[in-house]
Amino acid sequence: MIKQETELLDCYIIEPDKFGDERGYFSPYYIEKNLKELGFQGVVQANRSKSSKGVVRGLHFQKDPKCQAKIVEVIKGSVIDVVVDLRKDSKTYKKWISVLLTDKNNRQLYVPRGFAHGFVSLEEDTIFHYLVDNDYAPELEDGIFWKDEEININWEEIFTEYEINNPILSEADQKRKTLKECKIEFRRGNK
């Protein structure tokens, strides 16, 4: 496994080992010691979503005490994955990155606890897979407005580059509060 640092503190791009021949390949993705090196507490739940081209999901997080870290990847298709550091004591607080994840580049992204997460699907029938390290708690599920001006994600550039004319969002994601309106108290090392 190759762990590549990003511009965000504690957030990593992961390139799993890949072994193959003319038949195809084998990739051991989730090796416990590798996950622990990242700071991942252990797999509690695995989730999968299917999205059409232009679907935007996010920016989501789960509040304490059920804050979640995630390891995300694309099984089929491609996405631009976006994460925002919401930990007030982090030197990268309110900063964001975007990463291209595809079924061909074999990349994963480790999203620490205290981050908002979202993505835009670049292809029809994209299948997105993620592992989380804490229980799902619908009463603690939340998010921030995807076009929050304070964070200023360059969605329009992404949409132009990938020919997305009409982004598709859930009603909930269209109505989320801005970061200023949210009462978020994430800190580095939230358990």
Q: What is the mean pLDDT of residues 34-59?
A: 87
Q: Can you give the pLDDT at residue 63?
A: 92
| Residue 162 appears among annotated catalytic residues | no
Give the single-character DSSP code of 157: H
pLDDT tens readout for residues 130-168:
999 999 999 999 999 999 999 999 999 999 999 999 999
Q: Can you give the pLDDT at residue 30?
A: 64
Between 103 and 33, name the one with better pLDDT: 103
Distance CA 153, CA 132 (A): 24
β-bridge mates for residue 100, sequence order:
80
pLDDT tens readout for residues 50-87:
999 999 999 999 998 999 999 999 999 999 999 999 99
The single residue listed with the structure tokens 């964070």 is 151
Q: What is the pTM of this model?
A: 0.91
Q: What is the mean pLDDT of residues 110-132?
A: 96
Report CA Rg, the chain.
16
Please report, for the chain, the start and end positions of each structural domain, with discontinuous segments joined by +. Answer: 2-174
User: Catalytic pick from 25, 30, 60, 117?
Assistant: 60
pLDDT band at 42 (very low <50, low <70, confident <90, very high): confident
Q: Can you give the pLDDT at residue 149?
A: 95
| Residue 129 appears among annotated catalytic residues | no
For residue 29, pLDDT over 80 is answered with no
- The domain made up of 2-174 has a fold known as Jelly Rolls (2.60.120)
Widest pairwise Cα distance in the chain: 54
